Amino acid sequence: MTRFNSLASQFFIFIAIILSIAMTVSTYIQFSNEDAIINKALYDRGESLGELLASISIEPLLVFDDVTLNGYAEFISNQRDIVFAAVVNEENVPLTHYLNKNNQYVQSALSKKTTVDIKPTLEELKKNTQILFFETPVNFGGKHLAKAWVGLDRQPYRQLSKNALIKIILVTLCVGLFVGIALYFMFKRRIFEPIEILTNGTKNIINFEFDKTVKIEGTGELVELADSFDQMRLQIKETIESRDQVMEELSELNDSLEERVQERTQELQILNLKIAHEAMHDPLTGLPNRVLVTEQLQHDLAHAERTKTQLAVFIMDLNNFKEVNDTLGHPEGDRLLVNVAQRLLKAVRESDTVGRLGGDEFAMVLPDINEKDAVSVANKILEELLPSFALDDHTLKVGASIGISMYPEHGIDHTSLIRLADVAMYEAKKDKTNVCVYRPELDKYTPLRLSLMDYLHTALETNQLQLHYQPQVSLADNRVISVEALIRWFHPDLGWIFPDQFIPIAENTGLINQVSDWVLEQAFAQWRAWQDEGLDLQIAINLSARDLSNPGLPARIAELCNKYDMHTNGIKAEITESAIMYNPEQVIEIMSEPDVQRLQFAIDDFGTGYSSLSYLKKLQVAEVKIDKSFIIDMINDDNDANIVKSVIDLVHNLGRIVVAEGVEDVGTLTQLQLLGCDKVQGYFFSKAVPVNELMSVINKIEKR
């Protein structure tokens, strides 16, 4: 279908407009001519009839023959298209007249007639524009006799003009259509179709379609233009094909060059990565070396500072690795280090960094972790190292010691955190506790530590130490049935110094036995004082691993029992689970001494020392205290709650009493009651208070 805006359509519209104008003008001219002819014929007929009436009316007028005159008027009126005929005098008074009563104008005029006088009727018909009126004078011998009036109906003649107009229009329209169509098809074949061929050829070239020939049949300028256009098509095609061939060759050369450049770049990248990896990694284990560990630690410290999170640094040293090297040789030692590295990677998260600092010393950086979870990870690492290592010819068990420092609690820069973790690691190795979190008192180079070592001697000599007591409440009847004695030190200049600051100093300097002896003496004396007052309260004291290794302990307990007349159960010794597992056979042996059996025993901090059930069954303990780290979060942490429930069930099955420490709110207390715990202690009831405040606290507790 030809588009409205195409050249052919526009040409057709143009021809149609021109033909329409020409036909309109031609029709108008023809109609005007035809109308003029009809009007002239009408006027000629009217004049002829008027002259006829005037000429034939002379004789009757001269002889006053009204009958003949009327006959003439009737004769004229009976002619075709005559409306009326009349002969009037100079005053327009009809002498005779005749009306065509079949004519609509006559009928209309007669309907308005109110008198017998015909003059008004003739005057009205004379003035009617639809009636062509002729007035002819009647003269005889130079004398004016009368006037002859004739009225012709214009309507029939107008109908003739209308019919002539329709005929002219139809003829003109047919001629115009014929001419227009003939012109359209002539131009379409000679001009429009060749132009369309050229247009399509142009579109093909635009779309890079060069295989379609541009050809117009015939002769003339358009044929020559089409031939020239086709030659241009062929030249463009050859040019494009030549260009494509050149571009393809250039592309192949470019691809080859890019491939060679990419290969070279990859080789350089691999080499650079290899160099960077070797510079930052331990060649034996493939782990990050000291440089990369330090760099990653600095990065993690910056992140921890931005996000206000904690970070842990581990320093780990293998136990007795020197003996492995000396006995089996360095190749076996190297294989052991590789196996240890593989196990370490299994024990930590992907976000953690594990590196080898040298020898058998490893470092780990654990971002976004608190101290409790850091200790759990350290114990998980030790568990991963528990299975034997199978080397070429030997099977070895290797232990390890791990020191932990925390950001920001212990240090804020990478140098101090690594050093402090190293200090804690040596403490773990020395005490054989396997895992140790840094504490200021471990650092022998701090001024406060050096001062406290000297001050502690003075404190023992001048009675600066005190015992505070924290109630232990029976959940069965809400009674305080025992208290835990906790040592406190009030220095006259430094104020209160807490046990975690000076007890490690006492253990490292050999003063721990003197401190424990002082605690035993004070506890026995206080128990006796309460007994004398009628108050039956058991006192729990804490013994360390060094106390249990003291060969003089049984004799000292026997001496105090005799001195204060205590037979059994007045004093309860709490021993931490880790202290028991340090040397379980020795602990069992000490607890089996008859004099020592006059004390009651409890396992303190249960759940943190990985004790064996076989040893738990052998130990003659009356109570097991669940570590407060599980109690504090048991409402919000389902894992802690499940651990507490499992420990309670286990201890009850072994026939022991369960004590929960760290109770700080009523929700925790309620949950422990539901789980069947026997005794509790914590800040919900009271902190440790001096002896002079204890009775008031006990009364408040028992009145709840």
Residue 82 has pLDDT above 80, yes or no: yes
Instruction: Look at residues 158, 139, 156, 157 and name the one whose alpha carbon lies nearest to residue 148.
Output: 139
- DSSP of 2-45: --TTSHHHHHHHHHHHHHHHHHHHHHHHHHHHHHHHHHHHHHHH
Per-residue confidence at 609, pLDDT binned at 50, 70, 90?
low
Within 10 angstroms of residue 182's Cβ, the number of other Cβ atoms is 10
Residue 81 has pLDDT above 60, yes or no: yes
Distance CA 373, CA 348 (A): 12
Residue 565 has pLDDT above 70, yes or no: yes
In this structure, is the dihedral angle defined by the CA atoms of residues 162, 164, 169 and 174, taken in order, positive or negative? positive
- DSSP of 648-669: HHHHHHTT-EEEEE---SHHHH
Per-residue confidence at 614, pLDDT binned at 50, 70, 90?
low
Instruction: Look at residues 156, 95, 92 and name the one whose alpha carbon lies nearest to residue 125.
Output: 92
Within 10 angstroms of residue 530's Cβ, the number of other Cβ atoms is 18
Distance CA 172, CA 165 (A): 10
**For the chain, domain boundaries:** 7-161, 208-277, 290-438, 465-487+511-702
Highest average pLDDT, of 164-168, 207-211, 379-383, 637-641, comes from 379-383
Q: For the segment 145-185, what is each residue's pLDDT rounded down to a tens digit? A: 888 888 888 777 777 767 767 777 777 778 777 777 777 67
Length of the chain: 704
What are the Cα distances from residue 399, in Å, to 316, 653, 689?
10, 32, 42
Within 10 angstroms of residue 411's Cβ, the number of other Cβ atoms is 19
Q: For the segment 520-564, what is each residue's pLDDT rounded down to a tens digit? A: 999 999 999 999 999 999 999 998 877 877 888 899 999 999 999
Residue 11 has pLDDT above 70, yes or no: no
Report pLDDT for 264. 83
* Higher-pLDDT residue of 413, 213: 413
> CATH says 7-161 is which class?
alpha beta
- Strand-pairing partners, residue 576, are 604
User: 290-438 belongs to which homologous superfamily?
Assistant: Reverse transcriptase/Diguanylate cyclase domain (3.30.70.270)
The pLDDT of 371-396, averaged and rounded, is 88
Distance CA 480, CA 184 (A): 122
Instruction: Look at residues 497, 420, 409 and name the one whose alpha carbon lies nearest to residue 451.
Output: 497
Q: Calculate the average pLDDT of the chain.
A: 83
Residue 496 has pLDDT above 60, yes or no: yes
Report pLDDT for 92. 83
Lowest mean pLDDT among 55-59, 446-450, 473-477, 495-499: 446-450
Distance CA 291, CA 294 (A): 5
Highest average pLDDT, of 187-201, 222-236, 280-294, comes from 280-294
Per-residue confidence at 140, pLDDT binned at 50, 70, 90?
confident
* Higher-pLDDT residue of 599, 43: 599
Report pLDDT for 353. 95
Which architecture does CATH list for 465-487+511-702?
Answer: Alpha-Beta Barrel (3.20)
